[in-house]
Amino acid sequence: MLNKAILMGRLTRDPELRHTQSNTAVVSFSLAIDRDRRGPNNERQTDFIDCVAWGRTAEFVKQWFSKGMMAIVVGRIQSRNWEDKNGNKRVSIEINADEVSFGETKKSRESNGFGGYDSGSQIRPEGMNMASQAPSMPAYDLPVSDSEFSEIDDDDSDVPF
């Protein structure tokens, strides 16, 4: 069976970090995600999706994310049954996040008022997919022809598949 969700949206509030009785970190946050289509009166429609992350991922989210920042969340959809203060049975649907990464560049974050992030001081949690944290690729001077493509001289023409 497959249960995988990939979401990209803006945090609607600052992440809330708590710890379980066994001192495991757990953070909850919510993403606002615009729908592709507009409503009947051409208004923008938005879904608000609750997310939860555990352990080092929770600590990472609490340290580096705040309200309004764009985040990419990869995880699984989960339902949870609980009782409210009045004894009514409730069901919550949320994303249990396995990976959380930045959804915009540092420059974009700074222009949106979320500066202060220093990628050099980042400690990556194990298993995190930090695409925006990847080291920059070295620049190569490649010849460009009129078609913007050029022949590779050392091509062995063997295709491995």
Q: Are 53 and 25 in contact (CB under 8 A)?
A: no
pLDDT (average), residues 13-39: 95
Whether 127 shows a pLDDT value over 70: the answer reads no
pLDDT the model gives residue 112: 64
Higher pLDDT, 70 or 120: 70
Percentage, residues of the chain above pLDDT 70: 68
Whether 7 shows a pLDDT value over 80: the answer reads yes
Of the CA atoms within 13 Å of residue 26, those in its CB half-sphere come to 11
Sign of CA dihedral 156, 157, 158, 160: positive
